[in-house]
Amino acid sequence: MKEEFVKEYMKTRVITVGRNTMLKEVTRIMTDNNVGSVIVVDNGKPIGIITERDVVRAIGKGKSLDTIAEEIMTASLITIKEDSPITGALSLMRTYNIRHLPVIDYDGNLRGIISIRDIARAIDDILEG
């Protein structure tokens, strides 16, 4: 069976925001780009993720639209290296119950993002041989 790697299936166009981006801007960026999450970066390195669930939680807790990204992001970011096998990405997603993994290089720089949908496509390719 052929091994498939994260870099072959990841999307290289990642929608990112800075740590001081306000919530109202984050939601506009997510809407304009039709994405359910954005990666929070600092100097090109991923430091957190904001998902639709994080936005709902922030508003539900009474946070203002001027709240900055750093205050509402999930900071315990699970990442994967670009040369990791697809099976490793799937395993991380199942372990942490997440649907998106930021992909980094060996210096910790953001290289892409891989979603559960991308992994399904890879598994399909593996099964087709």
Its domain, for residue 89, covers 6-128
Q: Rounded distance, CA 24 to CA 48, Å?
A: 17
**CATH, residue 109:** 3.10.580.10
Q: Counting every residue, how long is the chain?
A: 129
Question: Among 1-5, 19-23, 49-53, 76-80, which range has the highest average pLDDT?
Answer: 19-23
Would residue 120 count as lying in a domain?
yes
Would residue 1 count as lying in a domain?
no
Would residue 86 count as lying in a domain?
yes
Would residue 82 count as lying in a domain?
yes
38-84 per-position pLDDT tens digit? 999 999 899 999 999 999 999 999 999 999 999 999 998 999 999 99
Would residue 75 count as lying in a domain?
yes
Task: Decide if 47 contacts 19 (C-beta within 8 A).
Answer: yes
Q: How many domains does the chain have?
A: 1
What predicted TM-score, i.e. pTM, was given to this entire model?
0.86
Would residue 20 count as lying in a domain?
yes
86-122 per-position pLDDT tens digit? 999 999 999 999 988 999 999 999 999 999 999 999 9
